[in-house]
Amino acid sequence: MANRLPTSVKLLHSAGPIDDLSKASWLNRTSKLESFVASDAWLWSGGTGVLIDSRLLEWMRAPSPKNLVRYYKYWGVEDIFTSITRRPTTRGQLWLNVQGLVDLRNKIAHGDYGAQATRSDVTRHMRGVRTFCERADASLARSIAVELKVLRPW
């Protein structure tokens, strides 16, 4: 099954362990190398195994629209926002809603006392997130089915 995974996903999955391995001194690499082989060899030998989801998201600090586009691109969806919307205005609204939520969250998390989420803000963001997630989920399922040549996984 690994031979059907996009190379971008395999590289992303292996990046952290390889980086850790390269930072270790030459004589202290044995355990890290054994761990890498145990967790990732199947990806590169065409076998089967388990993807560790946290590795695929390790680089993402916030789910900004740019980061979401980057993530879905790993799975063969060129632009997730274009994939899940038909009209440019809908696409723009969805993009701005996701970005607005990330920006508001960052302000609140970093102590900006002027940043507040009103009831209407919360309702609007929940609606936007639900729309994005439902549509992105369907798009990703289609892409994985095509990439891996399997029935839609969910």
Summarised one tens digit per residue, pLDDT across range 86-129 is 999 999 999 999 999 999 999 999 999 989 888 998 999 999 99
DSSP states of 40-82 as a string?
Answer: HHHHHHT------HHHHHTT-SS--HHHHHHHHHHTT-S-HHH
DSSP secondary structure letter of residue 4: G
Q: How confident is the model at residue 72 (pLDDT cuts 50, 70, 90)?
A: very high
pLDDT given for residue 86 in this prediction: 95
Which burial class, exposed, middle or buried, applies to 3 when counting CB atoms under 10 A from its CB (0-12, 13-18, 19+)? Answer: exposed
Q: Which amino acid appears at position 12 of this protein?
A: L
pLDDT at residue 37 greater than cutoff 80:
yes
Q: Which of 53, 28, 30, 49 is nearest to 40 (CA)?
A: 49
| pTM attached to this predicted model | 0.88
pLDDT at residue 22 greater than cutoff 90:
yes
Q: Which amino acid appears at position 29 of this protein?
A: R
Contact status, residue 36 vs residue 21, Cβ threshold 8 Å = yes
Alpha carbon 115 to chain centroid distance?
A: 27
pLDDT given for residue 1 in this prediction: 78
62 sits in the region (left: phi over 0; alpha: psi -120 to 50; else beta) called beta
pLDDT given for residue 153 in this prediction: 76
Contact status, residue 32 vs residue 20, Cβ threshold 8 Å = yes
Q: Which amino acid appears at position 64 of this protein?
A: S
What is the Cα gyration radius of the chain? 19
pLDDT given for residue 7 in this prediction: 95
